Amino acid sequence: MDLASSRVWVDGAGEAMDLQYHGNYEIWGGDIDPAAVQIARENAEKAEVEEIVRFFSPMPEPFPERSLMDESSAIRPMENG
∠ CA 18-48-32, nearest 5°, is: 125
Nearest partner of 58 among 25, 36, 42, judged by Cα: 36
Tell me the pLDDT band of 79, cut-offs 50, 70 and 90: low
What's the pLDDT score for residue 77? 58
- Predicted confidence (pLDDT) per residue in 18-39, tens digit: 777 677 778 889 998 889 999 9
What's the pLDDT score for residue 37? 92
* 0.75 exceeded by pTM: no
Give just the sign of the alpha carbon dihedral 12, 14, 19, 21: positive
Tell me the pLDDT band of 7, cut-offs 50, 70 and 90: confident
- Predicted confidence (pLDDT) per residue in 47-75, tens digit: 888 888 999 888 666 666 665 555 555 55
